Amino acid sequence: MSAPSQPPNPAAMASASGPAEPLGRRDRMALAAVAALLALLLLWLRGGLHPEAPLERLARQSPDLQVALSNGQPTLVEFYADWCEACRTMAPAMESLERQRRGGLNVVLLNVDNPRWQPELERYAVDGIPQLELFDAAGVDVGRSLGARSPSELEALITALVEAKPLPQLAGVGAISALNASPEPQAGSSASAGPRSHG
């Protein structure tokens, strides 16, 4: 007669097979290659090492101001700064609207920290950001928007601009009055604050 079979004993099996063998050189190389491929795939899916934020993309794609004002399309100029949280918050909606209206609207971003734009900062009396200057298709300044705007407010502003309709009645939005000469400063008045003063 044969002896009844017993279930295998895990402890006995482990001692019989010995300790687990370390991975060989070939196995380690294959594992490293798979890990590197997965890391590259993840990097590619996330947009690179330093994915560009909407504000940076808009600024990089921004046409030259003089070209924009003379190409027969309405133009929205945003005075912004990289450190401006309100500007960064508005950027995804601005980027989406620019993409939807491409070919019918210029979106120009001017960084207030770039000395190149000092004449424009003075010309448009920029003393806070974000500030939007709105120009019709002839390059005439038709309005200004001060402060952060929601996506729906940006849509309303841009639609009015593109369709050559009156700007929506929003707080901080209004027509611009052209002054032929600036008034003389009164005694005891201080110079106007610059766009970076926030004071």
Q: Is 94 a catalytic residue?
A: no
159: which 2 tokens?
């639609």
Q: Are strands 75-80 and 141-146 parallel, antiparallel or unpaired?
A: unpaired
| Rounded Cα–Cα distance for residues 80 and 78 (Å) | 6
Q: Residue 191 class from Cβ within 10 Å (0-12 exposed, 13-18 middle, 19+ buried)?
A: exposed
Lookup: tokens for 189: 């008045």
Crossing angle (nearest 10°) for helices 151-162 and 85-100? 50
Gap between the Cα atoms of 41 and 58, Å rounded: 26
Which is the catalytic residue, given 87, 94, 110, 158? 87
- Name the nearest CA neighbour of 153 among 138, 132, 126: 132
For the question of residue 121 being annotated catalytic, the response is no
Spot the catalytic one: 58, 65, 68, 84: 84
Closest-CA residue to 76 (of 85, 84, 116, 90)? 90
**Which of the residues are catalytic?**
84, 87
